[in-house]
Every structure is written in structure tokens, then in C-alpha cells.
Amino acid sequence: MSLTSKAQAYDVLVKELFVLLDKTETTDEGFAHRPVKIYCTREQDRLQLNQILVQLKHTLEDWG
């Protein structure tokens, strides 16, 4: 696989990841929630993961 096609594959996969993570549904009671979540039991890891996801999303939006 060439570097370009590998980069394009990563781009598609990351976009699909954010589609799943950004999906919201409404409960029967009318509350919106996100059915797909990533959990970290350590606060420091959660903060780092959140920072990475934010940077990934910004990179996708910048290069759209």
C-alpha cells in the first residue's frame, strides 16, 4: 500500500470514527444522548484521550 493510499485510508477511518462518536439519539423521554462512548478509568488518561480526539477532529475539519 502506498503512503498516499494509506493516508487516505486513515482519513476515511478517522472520519467514520467521528461519525460514530458524534451520533446522537433521542430517548423516549426526549433526552438526547450519545450511544457510542469511550471510557477511561484514569482521569489523566481521559484528559489525554480527549485532547487527542479534539486535535484529530480539528485536523479533519482543517483538511476536510
Stated pTM of the model: 0.77
DSSP-derived letter for residue 60 is H
Strands (E), the chain: 25-26, 32-33
CA dist 24 and 16 (Å) reads 15
Mean pLDDT in residue range 39-60:
94
Burial class (CB in 10 A: 0-12, 13-18, 19+), 58: exposed
Q: Cell numbers at residue 40, please?
A: 477511561
Mean pLDDT in residue range 26-48:
95
Say if residue 13's pLDDT is above 80.
yes
